[in-house]
Amino acid sequence: MNEQETVRNLNFFQRVSVAIDVAHALEYLHHRCEIPIIHCDLKPSNILLNEEMVAHISDFGLAKLLSRDSYSANQSSSLGFRGTIGYARPEYGMGSELSTKGDVYSYGILLLEMFTGKRPTDERFKESLSLHNFVKPTLPEQITEIIDPILLQQRVTRRTIANITPNRNILGNGRHL
């Protein structure tokens, strides 16, 4: 099973839990390490789940240490593009310095992918349309139009179960379970 199928099999609460775990890990890397670390390649395949479904960031091959005096690494485009197309901050392609903002951008794209079920490299996101531009006009009133259909199906199933449950909890003799 690939990572896209794995994410699609997670329910809403599991996806939120993964998102929170990744946010905590980024907060640790950026603010609580003795020398802050920029991951530079945050994407679904670099998020691992353990047996308890706790998410961990992996693959630090492109990571950079920040100088103690600033929140951007003194690296320029001479090192080439860092990250993965679709997840990397667009400014990196124009030679922008590495910064924690790049990881935050990647985290936002990761969240959009987790809750829409669409990859930022999907064929429909060409020219001026991107995953971000696909989601933005639907917020907040039309969110159900772009949410992962699996999450919507889970919502319908829960509502149906919620409507049935009170009837099943009543025994024929009028006593409640």
In the chain, where the domains are located: 3-168
Amino acid at 154: Q
Question: Is the pLDDT at 163 greater than 60, yes or no?
Answer: no
Higher pLDDT, 153 or 118: 118
User: For the whole model, what pTM was predicted?
Assistant: 0.77
pLDDT of residue 73: 55
Question: Is the pLDDT at 9 greater than 70, yes or no?
Answer: yes
Whole-Å CA distances, 88 to 9, 60, 70: 25, 15, 20
pLDDT of residue 133: 87
- Residue pair 56/48 in contact (Cβ under 8 Å)? The answer is yes
Beta carbons within 8 Å of 155's beta carbon, 6+ residues apart: 12
In words, the CATH class of domain 3-168 is mainly alpha
Average pLDDT, the chain: 80
HSE at residue 150, side-chain half, CA atoms within 13 A, is 17
- What tokens does 114 get? 């987790």
**DSSP code string of 33-62:** SSS-EE-S--SGGGEEE-TT--EEE---TT
- Residue pair 115/148 in contact (Cβ under 8 Å)? The answer is yes
Helices 12-27 and 149-168: crossing angle, nearest 10°? 120
Provide the 3-class DSSP secondary structure of residue 22. helix
- What tokens does 98 get? 């590495």
Q: What is the pLDDT of residues 79-132, one digit of tens each?
A: 557 788 889 888 776 767 888 999 999 999 999 999 999 999 998 887 778 898
pLDDT of residue 124: 87
Q: What is the pLDDT of residues 23-53, one digit of tens each?
A: 999 999 999 999 999 999 999 999 999 999 9
- pLDDT range class, residue 69, cuts 50, 70, 90: low
41 given a catalytic annotation: yes
- Residue pair 112/131 in contact (Cβ under 8 Å)? The answer is yes
Dihedral angle, C-alpha 158, 54, 45, 38, nearest 10 °: 130
Catalytic residue among 21, 41, 103, 148: 41
